[in-house]
Amino acid sequence: MPVVKVVDMTGKEVRSLELSDKVFGAEVKAAVLHTAVRAFLMNQRQGTQSTLTRTEVSGGGKKPWKQKGSGRARQGSTRSPQWTHGGVALGPKPRDYRVTLNRKVRRSALFGALSSKVAGGEFIVVDSIATEKFSTKTMVSMLTAIGAEGKALVVLANNDEKTVKSFANIAGVKTTQFNTLNVYDVLNCGKLVIAEDAVKKIEEVYA
């Protein structure tokens, strides 16, 4: 059972915390993580890119010159792909890139991602992440004190507007809630900073 230290917003250790083996001590499967990240990125694609084919470009209804006798190559339309202002051959058209994963794979990937952060020493538990007023300076000081400068993912137990907006202007820092965690964000951050009550809620839901 993994054990991590719990710190306060000043970086002082206040106690230790035992984590669930199922969620934070799971086997890290590279193939499952790759599948989950690929699915996440593909699901972000809108699939609205589109080009005009020769039938969709306006004009070109008249044959440029007669079939024979001109000495030039035969042409049927000035909107063929080889012509300037012609249509695009084999260009992209709107499509759905969405990929679905079954529940077992999604959970295995999330547990693996969280476990990799714990094993790599990139998992920081804070007893309480909160502020009484909108203050970016307070959150910058906290991240510096706990050693989470740079790219960090902050996981909260609830959507506290003051806390979320206080992190919003810090470059490289992203906030999320325990119930909207995804594998890509967990793996993409340098440090995973999580509130202690968010850890408990994750264990309640998954363990």
Say if domain 3-30+101-206 classifies as CATH 3.40.1370.10. yes
| Spans of all domains in the chain | 3-30+101-206, 46-96
Q: What is the pLDDT of residue 160?
A: 85
Strand partners, 192: 123, 153
Tokens describing residue 201: 């809620």
> What residue type is assigned to position 68 of the chain?
K
Tokens describing residue 106: 């999604």
Q: How far is CA 119 from CA 109, 115, 124, in A?
A: 15, 6, 12
Sign of CA dihedral 168, 44, 193, 177: positive
Give the span between the Cα atoms of 5 and 37, in whole angstroms: 29
Give the span between the Cα atoms of 82 and 149, in whole angstroms: 53
Closest by CA to 13, choosing from 125, 155, 123, is 125
Q: Provide the whole-model pTM.
A: 0.83
Q: What is the pLDDT of residue 1?
A: 80
Q: What is the pLDDT of residue 102?
A: 94
SS3 of residue 50 by DSSP? coil
Tokens describing residue 189: 């951050």
Tokens describing residue 194: 């999580």
Q: Are 176 and 185 in contact (CB under 8 A)?
A: yes
- The conformation of residue 83, written as its DSSP 8-state character, comes to S
Q: How far is CA 196 from CA 123, 130, 179, 200, in A?
A: 11, 12, 14, 7
Strand partners, 15: 6
Across the 207 residues of the chain, what is the mean pLDDT of every consecutive 10-residue run?
90 90 92 96 95 93 94 95 95 94 94 94 92 92 92 92 93 93 94 94 88
Give the span between the Cα atoms of 117 and 125, in whole angstroms: 12
Pairing of strands 173-177, 123-126: unpaired
